[in-house]
A and B are shown apart, each in its own frame.
Chain A
Amino acid sequence: MQIKVENLQYVYSQGTAYEKQALRDINFEIGGGEFIGIIGHTGSGKSTLIQHLNGLIKATSGKILVDGEDIYKDGYNFKNLRNKVGLVFQYPEHQLFEETVLKDVCFGPKNQGLTEEEALERAKAALALTGLAEEFYEASPFELSGGQKRRAAIAGVLAMEPEVLILDEPTAGLDPAGRDDILEQIAHLQRERQITVILVSHSMEDIAKYAQRLIVMNRGKLLFDDTPKKVFTHYRELEEIGLSAPQVTYIMHDLQERGFGVSAEATTVSEAAAEIIKALEKTHDS
């Protein structure tokens, strides 16, 4: 599935004293099977942008083409679009409402017009993907712990089997183990099913670890759109807009300045470790 965004503009509360341009002239293209990270500080327009991708917000001007079809043309089937583009909001557990976890996860598939059995099957598969234990399927979602609720809620979107999965800070408020767990499962799903994942995150470390492509938003504009490694080389510009690079990037840059023969491109701990060991071996050999 291909999404093409052309000259997208969005203005909040147009024509009032509170008018604010949230998106300016956004252009990008998403192919199939990518893992894309989006970063930007609060108010940079990233949440507004992702809500455009499944038609929850209509652009003030500009185009979005999904598989070549303009979603703003008359009679466009938004329901169909939302079946293909799944969106997990921040704190998705706040949208749980059914009596049991299983029923709640079935809500999406049923809205898609699937039969009871098909929906159940999808729901169980989705719950298994998120790693929620089977003993909780019949429990009330409100009795679960925070981390379990989060999994149940994410399963609610996964069960719709979207081709593009957008997650707005899916790990906010979770402990480090819970965070790694959920991200691992999402990455696994992305590889397995070859779907596109768009991850909005504040954690540069997580982005460096999982994303193949990184979009940086600032004041409604798309500032960078490249591989994380390339984007993080602009760490000084990122700092100016309240963002940063992963800590290891700074370490590598400092080492380079101190005359270490390391490349500063490493963005994850294991890459950095390998690079440092290699550099030290070289100096000791010679």
Chain B
Amino acid sequence: MAEMIRTENLIFDYDKRDEEGNKIGSFRALDEVNIEVEKGQFIAVLGHNGSGKSTFAKHINALLFPTGGTIFVGGYDTKEDAHFWDVRKSAGMVFQNPDNQIIGTVVEEDVGFGPENLGVPTEEIWKRVEESLKAVGMLEYRQQSPNKLSGGQKQRVAIAGVVAMEPQCIVLDEPTAMLDPVGRGEVLAAALKLRQEKGVTVILITHYMDEVVDADKLFVMSEGKVVLEGTPKEVFSRVEDMQKYCLDVPQATLLAHELKEAGLKVPAGILKKEELVEALCKLK
């Protein structure tokens, strides 16, 4: 499979400044991160608040540039000026706060904003807007004001706005943190549908463990480093490690873990309730 993102010892330092703006030190937000993502994968990045996962996400879209090391997006080094726009085009981004990323005052105009910036011809913009809104199930709201939508709907509009730019990869930076369970489900389903139908690579950054059980691969970050990586089965089977990194595991996994601790013969790496029920029935 083709490579989508690759980092080589990616380092990023934030400058700390005093009140006059003089540099008084720096804080290492990313510390030699090595991550590889293939095209069409569903990747999740987990980590506690301040673990560096958002900083990483912003590198994918060339909103931040490495202090050290390199990040390749779609084969381009983000630091090369010649490919700056290629990078931005190939990776779209959805942020946490739905209100602060919608520019248009009407849903369809917001979705058209990205293609307008790319210089897409008018007719093509209309086609893309319609398709993107349809893809996230928001076509019937195209004439509405975003202020009247629910959080989940706003985030779906934000996703449509990215989709209309036809990126190869979508980075979702805690898109569900401010939503209720219904909204969370809507947003996740919309993102995964894009992957299935258009083969878009999805990179999801989140605190909700149950959102990532279907991911192809998880990266767990802590203090700027990737501390765990692997399939959800591999990562979630390390319950104590996850707790050490201020995270948790899905409830079914936790229950399986407790039963195992108590001496029951439950297999490792149970993620879903069905798996646990199945395993327990064998013990009967």
Contacts and interface: CB of A to CB of B under 8 A. Distances in A.
Nearest to A181: B246
B49 A174 contact: yes
B35 to A, nearest CB: 20
A97 B50 CA distance: 23
Interface in B230-284: 243, 246-248, 250-252, 254-255, 258-259, 262, 264, 273-274, 276-277, 280-281, 283-284
B246 A175 contact: yes
* Centre residue among A175, A244, A258 by max chain B CB count within 10 A: A175
Interface of B: 47-50, 96, 150-151, 174, 177-178, 180-183, 207, 209-210, 243, 246-248, 250-252, 254-255, 258-259, 262, 264, 273-274, 276-277, 280-281, 283-284
Contacts of B209: 176
A145 B50 CA distance: 8
Given A258-B277, A280-B264, 16 more contacts: A42-B182, A43-B150, A173-B96, A175-B48, A176-B207, A176-B209, A202-B181, A242-B180, A248-B251, A248-B255, A251-B252, A251-B276, A255-B280, A269-B255, A273-B255, A280-B284
B51 to A, nearest CB: 8
Given A43-B150, A273-B262, A178 B49 contact: yes
A172 B182 contact: no
Interface residues of A, number: 37
Given A42-B183, A273-B255, A260 B150 contact: no
A32 to B, nearest CB: 30
Nearest to B208: A176
25 contacts: A41-B180, A42-B182, A42-B183, A145-B50, A173-B174, A174-B49, A176-B247, A176-B248, A177-B48, A178-B49, A202-B180, A247-B210, A247-B251, A248-B255, A251-B255, A254-B274, A255-B280, A258-B281, A273-B259, A273-B262, A277-B264, A280-B264, A280-B280, A280-B283, A283-B284
B259 A277 contact: yes
A255 to B, nearest CB: 6
Contacts of B150: 42-43
A48 to B, nearest CB: 15
A8 interface: no
Contacts of B254: 269
A272 interface: yes
* Centre residue among B150, B151, B250, B276 by max chain A CB count within 10 A: B276
Contacts of B252: 247-248, 251
A174 to B, nearest CB: 6
A72 interface: no
Contacts of B180: 41-42, 202, 242
B112 to A, nearest CB: 27
Contact of B49 (A43, A146, A258): A146
Interface string A129-152: 000000000000000011100000
A243 interface: yes
Given A269-B258, A270-B258, A273-B262, A260 B284 contact: yes
* Centre residue among B49, B96, B174, B276 by max chain A CB count within 10 A: B49
A244 B180 CA distance: 12
Contacts of B177: 172-173
A145 B258 contact: no
A89 B235 CA distance: 35
Which 5 pairs from chain A and chain B are nearest by CB? Answer: A177-B246, A247-B251, A175-B48, A176-B248, A273-B258
Contacts of A202: 180-181
